[in-house]
């Protein structure tokens, strides 16, 4: 198994401290603080372990309250809010250094038959027809901080292939939408709850960045500060993160230093498996170098 995939799977395995209390480790992937997708995936995994296995998550709504410390574990406290005949509700608080850094409400549902429809996916090239991500030239990489260099040069657990790549060092103005194919780099077990947790992890990549496209700004610019404020995720149909998925993102609004982005996640066969929405902070410091 690919080393980074094994590390990510280990990251999703939480230590159970009490019936409703779990501890997860943090991983430095080159971001300044704990990656938001890590907290999303771990919180969902903690909640799932308090729900009967026949019920899977169908939605979650989360707020990021404080930046997470990469060098310390995170404790997840689960409130078993309700178990009904078909649905279970959970509330999760992520705690670090004695303070809540994240809260999430999640709902779980047992599968049942009913009406179905979905929006069609965008018409884009298949992932195998797109090039792999090209490394930055050494002279461009040398201008970035060591942590950012590690972020850009280390192959992670997921492979991403944007349909229309952009140069993050010299961005140009584009319409507020993008499409990215992604998948886990190795095959994993069939556990549907694990695949959901890993999708929650991956759904935090690229989403809020969509709101910056019309403004020709990039997270690599020293005067740009970006952070997730909240995150919503709806699971519609069974999915596998170790098979290609298309992330179709758009941003309907940016105002007051907050950008809103939405995403639809499809299989390569065009099946809509999940939807996302996120508001993020995008601050431009015009005095920064």
Torsion of CA 74, 108, 181, 1, to 10 degrees: 60
Residue 228 designated active-site: yes
What is the distance of C-alpha 278 from the center of its chain? 10
Q: Determine if residue 206 is left, alpha or beta; phi over 0 gives left, psi from -120 to 50 gives alpha, anything else beta.
A: left
The catalytic residue among 196, 228, 251, 275 is 228
Distances from the Cα of 102 to the Cα of 162, 203, 235, 245, angstroms: 29, 17, 21, 27
Angstrom distance (rounded) from CA 25 to CA 13:
9
The catalytic residue among 38, 107, 204, 275 is 204
Distances from the Cα of 229 to the Cα of 14, 64, 103, 261, angstroms: 24, 5, 11, 12
Evaluate whether 169 touches 140 at the Cβ level (below 8 Å).
yes
Angstrom distance (rounded) from CA 236 to CA 195:
13
Catalytic residues: 204, 228, 278
């Amino acid at each position: 198994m690919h080393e980074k995939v094994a590390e990510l799977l280990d990251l999703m395995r939480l230590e159970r401290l009490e019936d409703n209390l779990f501890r997860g480790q943090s991983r430095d992937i080159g971001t300044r603080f704990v990656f938001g997708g890590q907290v999303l995936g771990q919180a969902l995994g903690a909640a799932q372990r308090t729900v009967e296995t026949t019920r899977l998550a169908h939605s979650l709504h989360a707020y990021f309250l404080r930046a997470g410390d990469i060098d310390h574990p995170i404790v997840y406290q689960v409130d078993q809010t309700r178990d009904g005949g078909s649905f279970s509700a959970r509330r999760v608080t992520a705690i670090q250094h004695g303070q809540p850094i994240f809260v999430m409400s999640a709902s779980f549902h047992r599968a049942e038959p009913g009406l179905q429809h979905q929006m069609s996916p965008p018409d884009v090239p298949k992932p195998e027809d797109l090039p792999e991500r090209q490394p930055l030239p050494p002279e461009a990489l040398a201008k970035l901080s060591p942590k950012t260099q590690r972020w850009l040069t280390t192959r992670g657990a997921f492979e991403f292939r944007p349909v229309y790549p952009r140069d993050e060092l010299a961005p140009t103005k584009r319409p507020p939408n993008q499409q990215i194919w992604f998948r886990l780099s190795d095959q994993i077990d069939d556990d549907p709850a694990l695949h959901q947790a890993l999708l929650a992890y991956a759904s935090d990549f690229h989403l809020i960045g969509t709101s910056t496209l019309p403004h020709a700004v990039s997270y690599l610019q020293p005067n740009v500060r970006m952070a997730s404020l909240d995150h919503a995720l709806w699971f519609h149909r069974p999915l596998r993160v170790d098979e290609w998925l298309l992330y179709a993102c758009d941003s309907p609004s940016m105002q007051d230093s907050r950008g809103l982005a939405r995403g639809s996640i499809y299989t390569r066969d065009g099946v809509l498996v999940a939807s996302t929405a996120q508001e993020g902070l995008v601050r431009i410091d015009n005095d920064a170098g």
